[in-house]
Structure 1
């Protein structure tokens, strides 16, 4: 686990600096407060992933209910403008997508967006039938924009995102101050045998637009920090909500943008399991 916060200063040249600060243990204090939050935020959102609703042998119903409660509590105390559920909402059961939507996600107190993961077995038709938008789309909030795209097919095979769509979207948003790209599976393998994608065209697109400040991924339940491509372009991960493997804790990532377009992001240990770096020799 990468037990730290990240601070990104945005500028015309892209990533200017990163400062490492302690991670947040969510709801650790009586008032659910925390320090170092930027003043006068213009946008604050959270990303959670890998719910794996319906996975046999797991407490998927409780895990999903916990996520909704954690995010609603965060919103009540600190305000969230949006939540993004970044893939693997269900576990190999696309027929359960309507159930997780109506029974859980619709109970979020904040607008939410979703994108498929490899375990959702979904394409544009499936996603639109449940969420009323396709498996690749954009979201705009003033001078901030999001580009979300699918990275798997209906059989769970990993596929590179629709790069034509990504380029078209990034061209459209070239005058935005801040743009984020959200992909369940990262488009690069940092390690030879890693279960990620090899999509050099996607990575090139991420590097080509100075206002694209970061990419956000799920998929690997053990990752909750940041990795880099090119000239320090950050790819952030958010641990996991469900499933039968991953970090000892379950949590989500928060991103805050202030009026100066400084971006501040940290991982939340929502389940409050503090065990780190456990080993058996």
Structure 2
């Protein structure tokens, strides 16, 4: 039997609460139930409109406005837990604009912690924070293309990341999908190779945003690295910010430059698992 090839389309995050999304229109209340949000004077009303037959491989797909067997966040192939880490660091989800993955070493295994921005927020791969919304381009345009196996390209808005297209078979259908990789510190992907970024040897400034742990008062000023030696990585991985429990530094390699990121609201950087964890510190 011959196999068809198709790409996995970029999917908007299929949130399940109208009150969180704050927008009228279709929504996946669950992966089995398509609903629509209606704005009323006292808030939002959620009205179920279609139940999906998951036993036959049909799941809620908010972009198509129907139950579908197309791969997306609700489909097992694109669902959380299937993200493959290729190195330590933070990666966007290829199919879900509201989700990102923190890859770290647990024992001798490279594992992924899946983080959701929540509400109507979307992940910004340029800043490493949930500063975009589900109405932005990242949620409405496919962020990759896989015309053939082996095809590679830089990830939009962050050329330190790139993807290579691979193939698998799902229900007798050949599926092309992207696997994400990261270049070394101060390198960008040119379509074929990771090459040195312009002025790679100079220390880059760390972007700082005021943060305050949930449920606590902190009037102190956060002290951040200011010298080139403080900014230089001594090991690869995710490193806690000693001055702010909600922030961490990412180092892609030894002698690279530390990149500071703050966990989403309602989470903190858990040093035990080297990832953002729901709760306060």
Question: TM-score range, shorter-chain basis?
Answer: under 0.3
Report which of the two has the higher share of helix: 1
Flag the structure with more relative contact order, 1 or 2, with Cα contacts below 8 A and sequence separation at least 6.
Answer: 1
TM-score by length of 2: 0.26
